[in-house]
Structure 1
Amino acid sequence: MSKDSQTPQPQSEEVDLGQLFKIIGNAFDRFFKFIGSIFIGIYKVVLLLFVHIYQRFVWYAGVVVLGVVIGFFIDNSSDKLYGANMYIETNFNSARQVYENLKQFHQLAYEDKDTLELAKRFDISIKDASKLKGFYIEPDLDENNIAKMYSDFYGQLDSISRLEMTYIRFKESLTPYNYSIHRIGVASTDKYIYKKIEKTFTEQLSGNPYLQELVEVNKLNLNQKDKVLVTQLEKTDSLVAEYLKIRISESKKQQIPNSGTNLYMGNAESTNLIVDESKIIEKRLGLENERMQINKALVEEKNVVNVLAGFPKSGYDISEWTDKKKFVLPIVLFIATLLVFSIIGFGKFLKSQSKILN
């Protein structure tokens, strides 16, 4: 009897599995039917839309042609929008000042349209100032520079901070002020205005007495350091000349083993020859290299803002297709016509339903 009581268990398990698979199959069937009903509904809506447009084709074709004609006339009578870029490098942490000045210029040109103030700032006529339409600035992003900034920053951290500061986190923490190179864009309706404002525009970018004082002090320090290096070079040249004289005089004497002129410095042992002309020459080359670096710094840090690439002689068309009325007006009129017919059709539907209910 124990064997007979155990035989029904596999059958019940098979029944349970069959019901489970049936439920899963029904769920998938309903899911696919739901997806299919969505596509069928979309198809019907699109089909009704094309039928509607086909039945009123004359109306829609008329508004599209009308929009093209009106838009073409507006575009020809309107001024074109031109743009040009300038690339600058900021020194002495002056990026904040540059961004603030650019915001003010944009406010004057784009929102306030204060042509009098713009003409005064850029030393141009009021007519030319009225053609300035906007000022824009953004950092010139370069992954290589960001990686270098991260490497320098990472090397200054302790072991615990290094575990937390990843490259992604460092990159997300950067602000436009952390970059040294920036791209400035100017929008105007006059394609030849950019060279007229370039010089005064660059001067206006860094108008800050504190920054100007930093520039002057930096020049003084660099010039003073250069004078010290010149003095060291003169002394080095003098030492080389004296050493060569000693070499020449010694070479004329009769050569005796372990004899010669030894020049010693400080507490050096008498068995070592301290003065070596090759080391003096290396020292002189090092001083010359420092002078080269100073000359380079005098150029790179001559101004608060360095112009890496100035404005081109003429601007270029920066208008998008959305700015052209011959493209926008036909679309707007087409959508407006569709809405009007939809409202009329919906009103007729409500009217028919009210009659049925009454």
Structure 2
Amino acid sequence: MNQQQDNSNREEQEVDLVPVFVWIGNGIKNFFNAIGAFFKAIGHALILFFVFLQRNILLIGAFIVAGLALGFYLDSNTKSNYSAQLRVEPNFNSSSQLISNINYYDALTSEGDYTRLAKELGLTVDEAQQINGFSIEESYNDTELLEEYDRLARDADTMALDNFTFEGFKEAKREMDYQFYEIIAKANSRDVLEKAIPKIIEVKENSGIKAARLSYLENTEFNISSKQYQLTEIDSLLAAYQKMIATNQSSSGNTNLFVGDQRSSDNLATLFFQKQELLEDLQDLREDKYGSENTVNIVSEYVVRGSVKEEHTKLKLVILFFVLGILVAAIPAVWRFLKSYPNTSK
């Protein structure tokens, strides 16, 4: 009796599960049918698009040829342009003033105020009219920034740098905080660019720049004088030690030098090392001194024919005119659809 009840219960459970499996199967079937319908719709749309292109091939082709011809024309004119690319190093916190100057010259060029631009750059008005524009942006690589971060880490408190990583250091830098900048000036004449370059990087000395320059030069001169005095003193000590060694060797026959406590001294070798360090410091100070004679130093400069950056003019114009051709060709079809739409919606 119990066995018959168990069999009947199992059959009822199997009967109850059949609709569930049917529902799952229908869901899977509908899902794949939807995917198939989606790709079928995409394929149908592509075929209709190609049919549209085929029917309007002459009109669209004419637009593409026009865009290509215009691209060749613009590129041929671009080849007569010249670009001066400068990498500069502003000194005495003058980077913000340099950036303002370059943006000002570019604004004058954009506005067509060639009279004022000629006055600012020491050019004639005709020469100023050949200038096409200016731009400036920071120029750096991670190695240069890492060296700058290392100098900051050596001068700062170690505890203060625990939460100030190198990535944070890069993100915290402002536009005027970089050591090097790249300036690009464009004109129709190489001679005009070469004549304007000295004026482009010229920064008028305001009170802040003057104070920073005088302070830096005075400190550098003081450090050079101090190092030279130390070097003279070390030379005197070296001469005295050498004389004592020579006297000691002639009287006793040995080359050992004892100072005060009768223990062999290594002061002579120490003095030689100190002298070498002083000579290296003097070399660095002189490089800093002569490298800071100008408010802005030109690190590299070259003038090239054509654009510095590839503009891809022909490709852009071909794509643009292709889209325009499609839009023009679609106007009649859209017009017919709009006229027939009121009748279809009834």
Q: TM-score range by the shorter chain?
A: 0.7 to 0.9
- In structure 1, how many angstroms separate the alpha carbons of the residues matched to 2:129 and 2:219? 44
- Is the contact between residue 82 and residue 190 of structure 1 (CA under 8 Å) also seen in structure 2? yes
**CA distance in 2: counterparts of 1:154 and 1:36, whole angstroms:** 63
Map Cα deviations across residues 145-169 of structure 1 (whole Å, 9 max, x no partner): 344555666775766973x555554
TM-score (normalised: structure 2):
0.79
Name the SS of the counterpart of 1:302 in structure 2: coil
Question: What displacement does 1:14 show?
Answer: 6.0
Count of residues in correspondence between the two structures: 345
> How far apart are 1:87 and its partner, in Å?
0.9
- Write the letter of the residue equivalent to 1:39: F
The answer on whether the counterparts of 1:89 and 1:308 sit within 8 Å (CA) in structure 2 is: yes
Q: Which residue of 2 aligns with 1:131?
A: 130
Among 288, 293, 315, which residue is 2:284 paired with? 293
Question: 1:22 and 1:86, CA in 2 relative to 1: closer, same or farther beyond 3 A?
Answer: farther
Query: What is the SS of the residue equivalent to 1:85?
Result: strand
Greater shift, 55-64 or 150-159, is seen at 150-159
Q: Residue 57 of structure 2 aligns with which residue?
A: 57
Identity %: 22
CA drift of 1:115 comes to 1.3
Change in 2 beyond 3 A, CA 1:243/1:33: same
Unmatched 5+ stretches in structure 1: 265-269
Closer/same/farther in 2, CA of residues 289 and 132 from structure 1, 3 Å limit:
same
What amino acid does structure 2 have at the position aligned with 1:299?
Answer: Y
Is the CA contact 1:194–1:311 (under 8 Å) kept in the aligned structure 2? no
Q: Which residue of 2 aligns with 1:267?
A: none
CA contact (8 A) 1:132 1:189 kept: yes
Q: One-letter code of the match for 2:234?
A: T
Shift of 1:207: 4.6
Compute the TM-score of the two structures, normalised by the length of structure 1.
Answer: 0.77
- 1:180 match: secondary structure: coil
| Alignment map for 1:1-358 (pairs within 5 Å) | 23-66=23-66, 68=68, 80-110=80-110, 112-149=111-148, 156=156, 162=162, 165=164, 167-204=166-203, 207-254=205-252, 262-264=258-260, 270-272=261-263, 276-312=267-303, 314-318=304-308, 323=313, 328=317, 332=320, 334-355=322-343
Secondary structure of the structure 2 residue equivalent to 1:311: strand
Equivalent residues of 1:81, 1:319 under 8 A apart: no
1:60 shift after superposition: 3.4
Unmatched tracts of structure 2, length 5 or more: none
Rounded Cα–Cα distance in structure 1 between residues aligned with 2:58 and 2:47: 19
- What is the root-mean-square deviation of aligned Cα atoms in Å? 3.8
Contact 2:88/2:180 (8 A) holds in 1: yes
